[in-house]
Amino acid sequence: MYIALAAFNLACAVMLGAFGAHGLKHIANSTQLGWWQTATDYFFYHALGLLALGLLSVMQQAIRVKLTFTLMQLGIVVFCGSLYAMALGMPKVLGAITPFGGGLMILAWLTLAWQAWQHQRTHQA
């Protein structure tokens, strides 16, 4: 399930990146294009992170990835979604929630670090 969701995220990132490169460049200003690019970059990075978590869930089942995956997915939706919305002309006040999405992404990576550390600590001989 995790790998399928990651693959879906990656496909969406490609589509949104292409839309930004080809559909928005003639109608958006440079600030809006910058927001779109930032959203797409972070979408790709974290969708690849979701894929890594999916692979980890198969290869190392002792490390539970559900919480990390959920935090990262929510971070993508909030961070990237708010930037995409502003790039499409929605109110700039949405920028107030963008850092919360970034915080969720950071929390996801820290959660993974904690889980990996705990796993290593408990499985050392």
**Judging by beta carbons within 10 Å of its beta carbon (0-12, 13-18, 19+), is residue 58 exposed, middle or buried?**
exposed
pLDDT for 122 equals 85
Which pair of structure tokens corresponds to residue 39? 């959203």
pLDDT for 62 equals 78
Helix residue ranges per DSSP H, the chain? 2-18, 30-59, 66-75, 81-87, 98-122
Mean local confidence (pLDDT), 14-32: 94
Q: What is the pLDDT of residues 77-110, one digit of tens each?
A: 999 999 999 999 999 999 999 999 999 999 999 9
pLDDT for 60 equals 85
Rounded Cα distance, 65 and 8, in Å: 18
Q: What is the pLDDT of residues 42-81, one digit of tens each?
A: 999 999 999 999 999 999 887 889 999 999 999 999 999 9
Residue 102's φ and ψ, nearest 5 degrees, are: -60, -40
Which sequence spans correspond to the domains of the chain?
A: 2-122
Q: What is the pLDDT of residues 6-16, one digit of tens each?
A: 999 999 999 99
Q: Does this model's pTM top 0.85?
A: yes
